Amino acid sequence: GAGVSQSPRYKVAKRGQDVALRCDPISGHVSLFWYQQALGQGPEFLTYFQNEAQLDKSGLPSDRFFAERPEGSVSTLKIQRTQQEDSAVYLCASSFPFDSPRDTGELFFGEGSRLTVL
Amino acid sequence: DAKTTQPPSMDCAEGRAANLPCNHSTISGNEYVYWYRQIHSQGPQYIIHGLKNNETNEMASLIITEDRKSSTLILPHATLRDTAVYYCINSQYGNKLVFGAGTILRVKS
């Protein structure tokens, strides 16, 4: 489809394992955001890319969390040595740059990757 | 980004208008009011946004008070599929969105 695609949709990891979550943004979208959503709470900002540049990583909770977008399209969120508190839904969102004539002010979200750490 | 305050939950009868309030008394002059909703097990979905004028689209209407300290999202004819968590967010255009707890809207038949 033409929406933001995330994979895997569900991931179960044992505590201490490394995981990688993938986001395919909508074609042409320059801006890409990652959010973490714990059960029963609103999404919390993790990090922001404009093209391949990571402009804001203030929301990453620890140095175990790492995100990259090497070619300015697909992005990967990596969590090293997972802990139980990392269990959450990880949401990716993308948009046109705000000064683009195609921008409508809308941020398009994927359906998320649900991570469960045992 | 300014913090918003929303009621934790609301009920609405199917077919009636749903009016969801949001207080944002500390909103800055260059911050927009955005509304998103999140249906169970899905990612958030954009509804509408505005700066100071009232806005309407195919999904909803947004009424912003003249002093911009509060706003109301109106779903004119709520259906069961509108049951979701509704988030009111203040943010500068193009900036990251800071979500609060939102309002759980339950549409009942």
Mean pLDDT of B12-20: 97
Question: Which DSSP string do the residues of chain A spell out, in sequence order?
Answer: --S-EEE-SEEEE-TT--EEEEEEPPTT--EEEEEEE-TTS--EEEEEEETTEEEE-TT--STTEEEE-TTSS-EEEEESS--GGG-EEEEEEEE--TTSTT--SPPEE---EEEEE-
In tens, the pLDDT along B36-46 reads: 999 998 999 99
Residue A43 makes CB contacts below 8 A (sequence gap 6+) with A35, A36, A37, A91, B44, B99
Which among A31, A48, A109 has the least Cβ separation from residue B44?
A: A109
pLDDT at A1: 56
Contacts of A106 in chain B (CB under 8 A): 46
Contact A112 B101 (CB under 8 A): no
Among chain B residues, the shortest Cα distance to A107 is held by B46
Among chain B residues, the shortest Cα distance to A10 is held by B41
In tens, the pLDDT along A54-93 reads: 999 999 999 999 999 999 999 999 999 999 999 999 999 9
Question: What is the distance in angstroms between the Cα of A112 and the nearest Cα belonging to chain B?
Answer: 6
Mean of per-residue pLDDT scores for chain A: 95
pLDDT at B84: 98
Contacts of B49 in chain A (CB under 8 A): 105
Contact A42 B97 (CB under 8 A): no
Other beta carbons less than 10 A from residue B69's beta carbon: 14
pLDDT at B70: 97
Strands in A75-79's sheet, in edge-to-edge order, are A5-7, A19-24, A75-79, A65-68
Contact A110 B43 (CB under 8 A): yes
Which tops the pLDDT comparison, A30 or B2? Answer: A30
Contacts of A48 in chain B (CB under 8 A): 96
Confidence of residue B2 (pLDDT cuts 50, 70, 90): low
Mean pLDDT of A98-112: 87
Contacts of B34 in chain A (CB under 8 A): 105
pLDDT at residue B1 is higher than 80: no
